[in-house]
Amino acid sequence: MIVLGAGPVGQNVADRARVAGLTVAVVECELVGGECSYWACVPSKALLRPVVAVADTQRVDGARQAVTGRLDTTRVFARRNHYVTDWDDSGQAKWVRSIGADLFRGRGRIDGPRRVTVTQDDGASRTLAARHAVAIATGSRPALPDIPGIKEARPWTNRHGTDSSTVPARLAIVGGGGVGVEMATLWQGLGSRVTLLARRSLLARMEPFAGELIARGLTQAGVDVRIGVQVTALRRPDSVTLTLDDGSELEADEVMFATGRAPHTDDIGLDTVGLTPGSWLDVDTTCLVRGVEGDWLYALGDVNHRALLTHQGKYQARTAGDAIGARAAGLPLDDAPWGDHATTADQHAVPQVFFTDPEAGAVGLSAEEAARAGHRAKVVDLDLSAAQGANLYADGYQGHARMVVDLDREVLLGVTFVGYGISELLHSATIAVAGEVPLKRLRHAVACFPTVSEIWLFLLAAYHRS
Ligand SMILES: Cc1cc2nc3c(=O)[nH]c(=O)nc-3n(C[C@H](O)[C@H](O)[C@H](O)COP(=O)(O)OP(=O)(O)OC[C@H]3O[C@@H](n4cnc5c(N)ncnc54)[C@H](O)[C@@H]3O)c2cc1C
């Protein structure tokens, strides 16, 4: 098998295929470890953790008085540099070789069925041929809007947003999705004066209360949150001036665009197999690309646009890796829903956490998505402060929980939590949603007293009462 891209997803599918007994070639044109390891998940969380850790102490009487200084940004950046191994990928490259895969450095392009040409930086190229499969795991890049002056403004994207070691005095962030709200939390915490500009509500794909609570948290932290505005033009002689559609102007030292992602598929030879360059890749449940003859081309991770998340891409990699192994061995596939070779959770149980302050996390369907999908559903809402453990965790705990129940089967369709420290709580909801645990049984899953998890007890009681 040939794997295009050695991000978290490419590495995982390579590993799984090796376990299945295939020989594997992995092609990487930048750093082994991908966007996730060096410019996305890892550095952003390494930078966010100190910001949120200090904020946590301010909600605990006794600790608040002990932590009175400002963040030491030099140490925070050093912490980030440690977790991104100073952008040196030799450790991860060694790991790829340790699983018995061959690593080829260079840009990979598909060159007809089962063939990939690898072009090195010095122009030398070679062609690899796969017997069984080619897996595209080339990820995504920032999608920048076509606004006059955007190029001259030299905007930050997730790259500078995670690798900068200087704190701009004034930072304008455009985009109210997950990347935008995390970046606003992070850079405001590090000392920038952040203005967050969003066309519509924050975290618009989540339950509406999530965006509202995150906006409130950001405002309390000092971020200027402006919702319902668009940038129409940019100028940068020195600082950046943003013209907004309400006619006003905003001046900042840097501007960051967090306005979505585009697939890394424009220059990977899709045209040689009848696909459209630059498009997201449509796949079946085993991650086989639709519209290509013969069962050999797979697309995993961000490129298939199912869920642009590392953990979900790695789940696809494990599932597709096993499916590739089974197909190569001529074994039957177990690709019925929830089977070993089906990425069923992509449709029903995708968990996601935003590491803001408070944190926002959700799995499965929102109330609106459940209604749109035709479910007869009941929505149960509660303040997380109903759980005594929440108040002991943070004085004056602010947070909210919602569960969406399928009334016909009495199982959970989705759960959303917004509150302090809920990132570790979300997996309990993921197990309940993916496991389709009947509510009748869930009441026997007893949460420890006094933890935030006790919210489950109150959610179930509220469901039965109403
Ligand atoms: C700021 C930010 C924060 C995020 N935080 C989180 C988080 O906390 N949790 C989470 O789950 N997700 C998070 N994400 C999303 C996550 O980063 C992606 O979902 C994940 O990186 C996708 O993994 P991937 O392997 O598909 O792609 P990538 O990580 O992008 O890796 C793709 C690899 O393919 C290589 N490549 C591309 N084209 C070629 C080619 N032609 N030939 C050879 N190699 C090629 C690239 O160089 C790259 O190394 C975040 C994203 C951003 C932007």
Residue range 350-382, pLDDT digits in tens:
999 999 999 999 999 999 999 999 999 999 999
Q: What is the mean pLDDT of the chain?
A: 97
Cβ count near 3 (within 10 Å): 36
Query: How far are the Cα atoms of 87, 151, 165 from residue 159, in angstroms, in the given order?
Result: 12, 16, 12
Q: CB count, 10 Å around CB of 456? A: 23
Report d(CA 260, CA 174) in Å as an integer.
10
Residue 445 has pLDDT above 90, yes or no: yes
- Helices vs strands, H then E, count in the chain: 15, 22
Residue 325's region, left for phi above 0, alpha for psi from -120 to 50, else beta, is alpha
Q: How far is the CA of 466 from the centre of ligand 1 (A)?
A: 44
pLDDT score of 466 more than 90: no
85's tokens? 């191994």
How far apart, in Å, are the Cα atoms of 84 and each of 37, 40, 317, 435?
6, 10, 22, 34
In angstroms, what is the span from residue 35 Cα to ligand 1's centroid? 4
C-alpha 221 to ligand 1 mean position (Å) = 29
- Phi, psi for residue 395 in degrees, rounded to 5: -60, 135
- Residue length of the chain: 466
pLDDT tens per residue, range 103-153: 999 999 999 999 999 999 999 999 999 999 999 999 999 999 999 999 999
Give the pLDDT confidence score for residue 301 in this predicted structure. 98
Q: What does each C-alpha distance from 113 to 106, 117, 257, 275, 324 come to in angstroms?
A: 20, 12, 37, 12, 16
Mutate which of 4, 36, 126 for ligand 1? The one with the most ligand atoms within 8 Å of its CB, which is 36
Pocket test for ligand 1, best of 15, 41, 80, 140 (most atoms within 8 A of CB): 41
> Would the pLDDT of 34 be above 90?
yes
Ligand 1 pocket: which of 173, 303, 304, 310 to mutate (most atoms within 8 A of CB): 310
Residue 126, SS3?
strand
Distance 26 CA to ligand 1 centre (A): 15
Which residues, judged by CB distance below 6 Å to any ligand atom, belong to the binding site of ligand 1? 4-10, 27-31, 34-36, 40-41, 44-45, 107-108, 137-140, 158, 162, 179, 264, 268, 301-302, 308-311, 313
> Taking residues 335-345, what's their average pLDDT?
98
pLDDT band, residue 315 (cuts 50/70/90): very high
Look at residue 319 and tell me whether its pLDDT is greater than 90. yes
What is the rounded average pLDDT of the residues 428-453?
Answer: 97
Question: HSE on the CB side for 195, CA within 13 Å?
Answer: 20
Ligand 1 centroid to residue 298 C-alpha, Å: 17
Sheet with 170-174, side-by-side order of all strands: 224-227, 193-198, 170-174, 254-257
CB-based burial of residue 192 (10 Å sphere; 0-12 exposed, 13-18 middle, 19+ buried)? buried
Alpha helices (runs of H) in 292-373, residue ranges in sequence order: 310-329, 345-348, 367-372
Residue 449 has pLDDT above 90, yes or no: yes
What is the value of pTM for the model shown?
Answer: 0.97
**What number of other Cβ atoms are within 10 A of residue 125's Cβ?**
13
Q: List, in order, residues 6 or more apart from 427 with CB less than 8 Å away.
A: 351
- What is the CA(8)–ligand 1 centre distance, in A? 7
DSSP track, 84-115: TGGG--HHHHHHHHHTTPEEEESEEEE-STTE
